[in-house]
Amino acid sequence: AEALLTVLDRGRLGETYCIGGDSTRRNIEVVRMLCEALDRYAPANTPHADKISFVTDRPGHDFRYDVDASKIRDELGWTPRTPVPQGLEETVRWYVENQAWWQAIRDRGFASERQGLSGGG
């Protein structure tokens, strides 16, 4: 949100700015960080990482996400204030503490199945 406010305040009209966390990670690293946070805030009988299963990659699958945020940093002076591990931790904690909010969305029929597979799945 701070990055968006920075763009609104100091960005050039019509310009595009990529907002990123300056923290390239492989997908599996992010999943493991999420599992560790879930172990702290919503412990289960076994570690959440034990539930990781590997599936066939969908067409166009990204193995990592890396946003080049150098433009917003260099032109507007914005850098992320929250490191990725801390941000993931805080996000997991929020979702655990606010289950009623997201459960209401799921109860209205939000599709939580794996997306992007051929055949409409």
Please check whether residue 51 is in contact with residue 34, taking contact to mean a CB–CB distance below 8 angstroms: no
113 contacts: CB under 8 Å, gap ≥ 6: 121
Mean per-residue pLDDT pooled into runs of 10, the chain (121 residues) = 96 95 87 96 96 87 81 95 93 96 87 62 45
Torsional class of 69: left (φ above 0), alpha (ψ -120 to 50), beta (otherwise): alpha
**pTM above threshold 0.85:** no
Domain ranges of the chain: 1-23+66-79, 25-63+82-110
Residue with tokens 């599992």: 35
Question: What pLDDT, on the 0 to 100 scale, is given for residue 93?
Answer: 97
pLDDT value of position 26: 86
Distance CA 82, CA 2 (A): 11
* Confidence at residue 115, expressed as pLDDT on a 0 to 100 scale: 62
Cβ–Cβ < 8 Å for 23, 82:
no
State residue 114's pLDDT score: 64
CB contact at 8 A, 33 and 85: yes
